[in-house]
Structure 1
Amino acid sequence: MDFLTSGTHLHLTTWIIALILFFIAAVSPKKLTGVQMVLRVFYILIIITGGALFLEYRDMIASTHNGSGMTYDMKVLFGILVIGFMEMILARKNKGKSLGIFWVIFVIVFLVTLYLGLSGGIGWDLF
């Protein structure tokens, strides 16, 4: 299972593909059941690769951030919230309900997740 934790490439790739599929399904005027089913498979892959990275690197991150791994724990929580909001947006879109506040919350939660992920100490060190 070393391929899951040898780097963040697999995790980032699953996120990028999932976001592309999400935006395709979100802007489509009709319900794309097949795209949503594939997107749900990518949700599972994101959780598996993210969980493997979490288990592998949590102690290392905690030791480099003054003994606190809480930022990495928060990144996991916000990552799951991003997936949840992606699914809620698609479900509400298919039911024809309003989406405004969900898009705003999605963008905020996504940006927080992105910041926590990029400042976490593994992968790219942008912040």
Structure 2
Amino acid sequence: MTHLHITSWALGLILLIIAFVMYRKGSKAGKILHMILRLDYLLILYSGGDLIAEYARIGFPSFPLLGELIVKIIAGLWVIVAMEMILVKTSKSKPATSFWIQLIIALLIAIILGFFRLPISM
């Protein structure tokens, strides 16, 4: 399930960039890609939830990295919210700089915890 999760958020980032460019050009394709990205959010949430279930099988009470897992979950949700807000603001021709900064910060937190700190990884 780890590979599905990584593939789905990589696809989400690619769709975010393409939809952002299409919105900036004023193309209707931006709205279509935005809707596809919203479907990808569901795949990200499903695969992330399955990874959380794998950690639950390890056992939460004896799991020493529970705090970091909670931070990773919050950062992952923060990434999704920032991606959505970037496209919503861009579609309304409003500045989205603060959400780009939030996306970068949350993405770094999620990647560092997911790849380098938590035990279920590639």
TM norm structure 2: 0.86
Give 3-state SS (helix, strand or coil) of 2:51's partner.
Answer: helix
User: 1 or 2 for the larger relative contact order (CA 8 Å, sep ≥6)?
Assistant: 2
Identity %: 36
Number of matched residues?
Answer: 116
Greater fraction of residues in helix: 2
How far, CA to CA, are the matches of 2:81 and 2:55 in structure 1?
24
Aligned to 1:90: 87
Aligned to 1:104: 101
How far, CA to CA, are the matches of 1:122 and 1:102 in structure 2?
29
Aligned to 1:23: 17
Q: Over the residues paired in the alignment, what is the CA RMSD in angstroms? A: 1.7
Structure 1 residue runs of 4 or more that deviate by more than 6 Å after TM superposition: none
Aligned to 1:73: 70
How far, CA to CA, are the matches of 2:93 and 2:59 in structure 1?
43
How far, CA to CA, are the matches of 2:5 and 2:103 in structure 1?
19
Q: Deviations over 1:68-102 (max 9, x none)?
A: 41101111111011000000000000111111221
